[in-house]
Amino acid sequence: QKHADRLNQIAEEEGEAFLQRYGGKISSEWMIPKVMQIAEEAPHIYEAADRIIEAADWIVYQLCGSLKRSNCTAGYKAMWSEKAGYPSDNFFEKLNPSMKTITKDKLSGSIHSVGEKAGSLTEKMAK
């Protein structure tokens, strides 16, 4: 919970508008507090990770072979909105300096609406 508490404190201090979309608090089980924990407690794993993907998006990625993030998981778990995108690099840097460019480096991939076709099964998954 300490990572979510720190995120909430920084967001409040910085007057981040996104916080209000979530009732004023980000929860510890959401993606960004978990990423903060990895960056802090296992920086070698954070640095080695090519991407950080929510489980629901990872399953689709495995099935179809292309990363298409869900606007539902991005919006609810990763603080993204269709109108504003992700919070700024400056905000992420305040969470942890290594997270400054997380949206470009670790959260890359197009974001699609729930129900939109993600692709077709790969040959491997079709078998």
- Mind listing the pLDDT tens digit for each residue in 3-51? 999 999 999 999 999 999 999 999 999 999 999 999 999 999 999 999 9
Whose CA is closest to 7, among 54, 58, 77, 57?
77
What is the Cα 127 distance to its own chain's centre?
Answer: 31
Cβ burial 84-123 (10 Å sphere, 16+ → b, else e): eebbeeebbebbbebbbebbeebbeeebbeeeeebeeeee
- Mind listing the pLDDT tens digit for each residue in 74-106? 998 999 999 999 999 999 999 999 999 999 999
Domain boundaries, the chain: 2-126
- Mind listing the pLDDT tens digit for each residue in 62-73? 999 999 999 999
Confirm if 8 and 16 have CB atoms less than 8 A apart.
no
pLDDT, position 53: 97
Burial class from Cβ neighbours inside 10 Å (0-12, 13-18, 19+) for residue 11 reads buried
pLDDT, position 99: 98
pLDDT, position 104: 96
What is the 8-class DSSP label of residue 99?
G
Superfamily of domain 2-126: ATPase, nucleotide binding domain (3.30.420.40)
